[in-house]
Structure 1
Amino acid sequence: MIVPWQNINADTLNHLLEEFASRDGTDYGAYETSLADKVAQLQIQLQQKRIIVVYSELHESVNIVPAEQFTD
Structure 2
Amino acid sequence: MIVPWQELDPDTLDNLLAEFVSRDGTDYGEQEYSQAEKIAQVRSALVRGEAVLMFSELSGLCNVVPADQVRDQ
Normalised by the size of structure 2, how large is the TM-score?
0.83
**Counterpart residue number, 1:34:** 34
User: Tell me, which stretches of 5 or more residues in structure 2 are unaligned?
Assistant: none
The alpha-carbon distance between structure 1 residues 32 and 59, as it changes in their structure 2 partners (threshold 3 A), is closer
SS of 1:52's partner is: strand
Q: Identical aligned pairs, as a percentage?
A: 51
- Cross-structure match for 2:54: 54
Number of residue equivalences: 71
CA 1:58 to 1:24, structure 2 compared with 1: closer, same or farther past 3 Å? closer
Give the Cα–Cα distance (whole angstroms) in 2 for the partners of residues 32 and 59 of structure 1.
28
Give, as a single letter, the amino acid of the residue that structure 2 aligns with 1:3.
V
- Alignment correspondent of 1:17: 17
Gaps of 5+ in 1: none
Regions of 4+ moved over 4 Å? none
Instruction: Compute the displacement of 1:34 (Å).
Output: 0.2
| 2:66 partner amino acid | P
Q: CA RMSD in A?
A: 1.4
